[in-house]
Amino acid sequence: MTKDEQARRGFFERGVRDLTVFPAEVYDSWARCIANHIAPDVPMREILTPEALQARRAHNAELLEVAVPFMEILYKVVEGSDFSIMLSDSEGYILKLIGDPHFLAEYSRKDNPLVEGSCRSESKFGTNGIGTPLAIRKPIQLTTNEHFRREPYPVTGTGAPIILPDGELAGALSMSGPPDKVHLHTLGMITAASRAIEEQLTLRKINTQLAATKNQLQTILDTFDQGVFLVDSAHTIIDTNLAAQKTLGFSEEEIINRPIHDFVGNMDFSSLNASIYDMELPLRTRYRTENFFVTIHTVRQSTDNSFLFVFREAERVHNLVNKYIGSSAYFTFDDIIGRSPVITAAKENARAASTNSSNVLLIGESGTGKELFAQSIHNSSAFSGGPFIAVNCGAIPRSLIESELFGYEAGAFTGAKRAGSAGKFELANNGTIFLDEIGDMPYEVQIHLLRILQTKEVTRIGGTKPVPLNIRIIAATNVNLEQAIQDKTFRRDLYYRLNVLTFRIPPLRERGDDVLLLADYFIRKYQQPSKQPIAGVSAYVKQLFLQYHWPGNIRELENTIERACLLTKGAEITDEFLPFNLLKSTGVEAVQAPANLPQAAPAQVSPVDLAEKEVIQNFLLSCGGNVKEAASRLGISRRTLYRKLHKYQIDCDGIRKHKEGR
């Protein structure tokens, strides 16, 4: 009896383990087989039906696709030496068997047939080159006497499990052959092959995940209404979206793998040292170069950076900016209140102007509503769908007016934005630009405006490429431009270019009863919800309003009504709540400020003090000079009021006498 046979008998009869003969893994496997009540001498004939085998192969299609090429490589090494190579699934069922034909034919007729679909699970078949590697999750080589079942002739089984990255068993790879032709290198080959299969399965899983992520990313990118380029560290476009293809007019194949500089020119990406940049850049489309608003997200890497390049047509961005910064016209001709012949005629002329695209010049005093007319013309014109940009030419600092109106390119001057900036004319493209106080525009800037009017193009400061404009120009002034021409402060040629459709907006003093209509409108606008409703102005105030010349026009009337609404506590606005200058100019200054009432020198009183003095005088007049009542209505103590009377030199007795005399 050989030493191997003695060690087997010692274990199966007495449970003795001789580790000098068999390794512990073999004894452990035999113990599991005994625990599973496997009979070593009973044939094992569990074989899958063709349908069940096909189902298992379909379930393990990826494993077969990866492993079979490795099995074929291994077989070329051992071909003709009575070896067989087997691939099983995780439950030990043989999915693929490759070997010498005569060897496979002979083994298919044995009591324990070795065929595709047969089961070699350790829990059913016992210790073997497929089931045991699956059970212990590591490679093993088993000699003839180490198998649990005694084969009809000597065979050595070498197997290794195939384990996925998540720890799940995929199957096992095994090789069986004559003991005299097997050596330790056989175990090394099987182990290396199983590891290679594991790596290929891992790569496939990663690639599947990457493909799914790519599809998800592409779906996300395609939902953007902005164009997107993914640019690698070599400045090559590696991905794009539908919006970019549609906007630029190129297909995906024409964009991917091209240098980003094919579309954005000579941009220096190495100078981008921040995470996010917003700029306006010219991008090449299929037919021409156009300006786009671009956001570049820098992705930091260990060496070079990659970029997410998001772009949108500059015109759409400008329109969006205009929408949210309030560059819109809200008023229409229906908002111009008045029934007087002069305002009716002005509205009719303005309506006629809105039917064409000619330049309009509005002439009128400050506060007459020139911008209201400009917005109404815009909203009734073909440009109503575009922006309405209002520019006060007198409010922009002289040193900035050119850059504000015409824009500038990157680096045009010290302090310029890196990306440059669009001017008001570009922002107003496809809409209307309202140049208020045109008479205050610097003389040297007027030549640039004249060129825009002539060419319908604007060139940014520091730029060379003109931007075509589809724009309506409405100018307004409260100065005599003909006199300004004589004074050499306004260009004659610019005046004639603007003076195509010229309309005079009448001052409020020429509009008769319109002042009362406007007063009622402003009372409704400034009525305090928490106070008693104001029905209107008193009959006496109506006479004052019709008599007053309103140098500040509608703006002054609005301020007057707003002030009165804040102070009035009754059902109508009376003269006691009107400004002192209005009462004085209408001939009632004797009531508002007696002739013998000492006045503080203007140089000694601040504007705030003058306003406070006027309020105190009004309340004293309404209270008949009664200090106690006036202090109560003002919400201050009598001591405080007396101190202010002394400060402003207000004579209460004089006010009382004049009030009683009236």
Which among 423, 173, 409 has a CA at the least distance from the CA of 318? 423
> Phi and psi (nearest 5°) for 551?
-65, -25
pLDDT value for 598: 39
pLDDT value for 608: 61
Which among 437, 408, 412, 443 has a CA at the least distance from the CA of 424? 408
Residue 471, SS3 per DSSP: coil
Alpha-carbon span 50 to 400, nearest angstrom: 87
Which among 575, 602, 601, 573 has a CA at the least distance from the CA of 588? 575
User: Is residue 319 a contact partner of residue 387, using CB atoms and an 8 Å limit?
Assistant: yes
User: Is residue 515 a contact partner of residue 357, using CB atoms and an 8 Å limit?
Assistant: no
With tokens 């190579």, the residue in question is 85
Alpha-carbon span 57 to 70, nearest angstrom: 17
With tokens 């640039």, the residue in question is 448
pLDDT value for 594: 37
Tally of helices (H runs) and strands (E runs) in the chain: 28, 19
Q: Which residues are CB-neighbours of 298 under 8 A, at least 6 positions away?
A: 272, 274, 275, 276, 277, 305, 307
Which among 50, 115, 107, 112 has a CA at the least distance from the CA of 88? 115
Q: For residue 388, what are the β-bridge partners? A: 432
Mean pLDDT for each 10-residue chunk of the chain (662 residues)?
A: 89 93 95 92 87 96 95 90 92 94 77 88 94 96 90 84 93 91 85 94 88 82 84 88 90 91 77 65 82 79 76 63 58 91 92 91 92 93 87 82 82 58 84 91 89 89 83 92 91 90 92 93 89 88 90 92 88 86 66 38 53 79 80 75 79 69 54
Q: What is the DSSP string of 562-615?
A: HHHHHH--SSEE-GGGS-HHHHHHTT-HHHHS-TTS----GGGS-HHHHHHHHH
Alpha-carbon span 147 to 132, nearest angstrom: 10
Which among 327, 343, 247 has a CA at the least distance from the CA of 287? 247
User: Is residue 166 a contact partner of residue 181, using CB atoms and an 8 Å limit?
Assistant: no
User: Is residue 253 a contact partner of residue 217, using CB atoms and an 8 Å limit?
Assistant: no
Residues in the chain: 662
| AA identity, residue 473 | I
pLDDT value for 651: 77
Which among 497, 390, 395 has a CA at the least distance from the CA of 447? 497
Structure tokens at 136: 């212990």
pTM of this structure: 0.49
User: Is residue 357 a contact partner of residue 383, using CB atoms and an 8 Å limit?
Assistant: yes
Query: Residue 544 — left, alpha, or beta (φ > 0 → left; ψ -120 to 50 → alpha)?
Result: alpha
How many other C-beta atoms are found inside a 10 Å radius of the C-beta of residue 361?
21
Query: Is the alpha carbon torsion for 512, 477, 427, 285 positive or negative?
Result: positive
User: Is residue 329 a contact partner of residue 388, using CB atoms and an 8 Å limit?
Assistant: yes
pLDDT value for 584: 76
Strands 388-392, 432-436: pairing kind? parallel
> Phi and psi (nearest 5°) for 83?
-100, 150
Alpha-carbon span 50 to 434, nearest angstrom: 85
Cα angle: 367, vertex 371, 372; to 5 degrees: 90
Alpha-carbon span 522 to 157, nearest angstrom: 102
pLDDT value for 575: 85
pLDDT value for 414: 55
pLDDT value for 418: 56
SS (H, E, C) 518-564: HHHHHHHHHCCCCCCCCCEECHHHHHHHHHCCCCCHHHHHHHHHHHH
Alpha-carbon span 587 to 580, nearest angstrom: 11
